[in-house]
Structure 1
Amino acid sequence: MLHFFHYTRAASRPLTQTLLMNTSLSTCAAALALAAMFSTGPASAQPGQKFPVIPLTAGMHVIKAEVVATEAERQQGLMFRESMAQNEGMVFLFGAPAGVCMWMKNTLIPLSVAFIDDDGKIVNIENMKPHSLESHCSKKPVRYALEMNEGWFKQKNIKPGSTIDGLPKGR
């Protein structure tokens, strides 16, 4: 799935703007360490490519989450996938808390995305339709985004304020 992430300091910046980040050297080093830890193979992602999997928990629910940590991996995401198993998902790692927006260009399956803060708490959850160019944004700066099949969070009664455990810490 092609995601456009917009790291902006103010919500008024246009979504078409190029990526902006304002981070310290230590944050950049942590992001690079995470990227190296989860990197698998060539720098360019391939359509339908699978990424390393880690277990996450949302209450009593176990999630098998593919991890994407580099810009190329985040842009690839779940693009061109025809299906995803019931308790599988994809977690997007960002080097530092930032305003993040996603869309669903070239994504074949409907998804729900939970935007998650530095402490693992869900900030907001948005439903995303396949092939849509509509932007879905975090309501405040987040460090993670977790994509699951559409409706998964609602079916499990997982809401904003719920915690996702097992997220990689990159401080």
Structure 2
Amino acid sequence: MIDRRAILALAGGAWAFGFGEALAAAAKLETVEVVTSRGRARFQVEIAATQAEQARGLMFRKSLAPDRGMLFTYKRPQPASYWMKNTLIPLDIIYIQPDGRILSIVRNARPHDETPLPSGGLVLGVLEIAGGRAAQLGILPGDRVLHRIFPKV
């Protein structure tokens, strides 16, 4: 289970001074598509694959464009639980099962809230997007997420 608190002390200082947004701008982006009953929603995402990247996540970001996000990837399915400490903007947290289907969504997670936000089951990925976007786009549990880490159907 991911616990961002473990690495916060190491990563937090530099990000608090604006390096987070500078690094985000330089990060290689990948495309994630979510197939909903309304159509496809496409996001350009940063990949958080290492423990340090996952602990830092979108902390200290002052904004997130509506078509941007971060995809947390795991080597094996596992339960996940996120929190919003040091996160300045509301986020939708989308937990994705190993088959690419959305398991659950935490909508408009509150900035600075330390309450654990569990996945409710095993996930292979977690997509964080701007708060409110999932509702705007009609993204629901059961919808399919398309990205290289999920099997093609």
Q: Secondary structure at 1:138's aligned position in 2?
A: strand
TM-score by length of 1: 0.71
Unaligned runs of 5+ in 2: none
Of Structure 1 and Structure 2, which has the larger fraction of its residues in helix?
2
The answer to whether the 8 A contact 1:104-1:129 is kept is yes
Question: In 1, distance between residues paired with 2:65 and 2:56?
Answer: 18
Alignment partner, residue 160 of structure 1: 141
| Consecutive unaligned residues in structure 1, runs of 5 or more | 7-15, 19-43
Aligned sequence identity (%): 32
Residue 55 in 1 paired to residue 34 in 2?
no
Aligned mates of 1:55, 1:61 — CA distance in 2: 10
Equivalent residue for 1:147? 128
Question: How many residues in Structure 1 have an aligned counterpart in Structure 2?
Answer: 133
Alignment-mate amino acid for residue 165 of structure 1:
L
Q: Which of the residues 47, 67, 80 maps onto 2:60?
A: 80
Paired residues of 2:30 and 2:47 also in contact (CA < 8 A): yes
For 2:139, the aligned partner's letter is I
Does 1:90 pair with 2:70?
Answer: yes
Superposed CA offset, 1:54-85 (max 9, x none) = 00111221110110100000001111000010
Name the Cα RMSD after superposition.
2.3
The answer (yes or no) to whether the contact 2:97–2:124 under 8 Å persists in 1 is: yes
1:15-54 alignment runs, 5 A limit: 46-47=14-15, 48=20, 49-50=23-24, 51-54=27-30
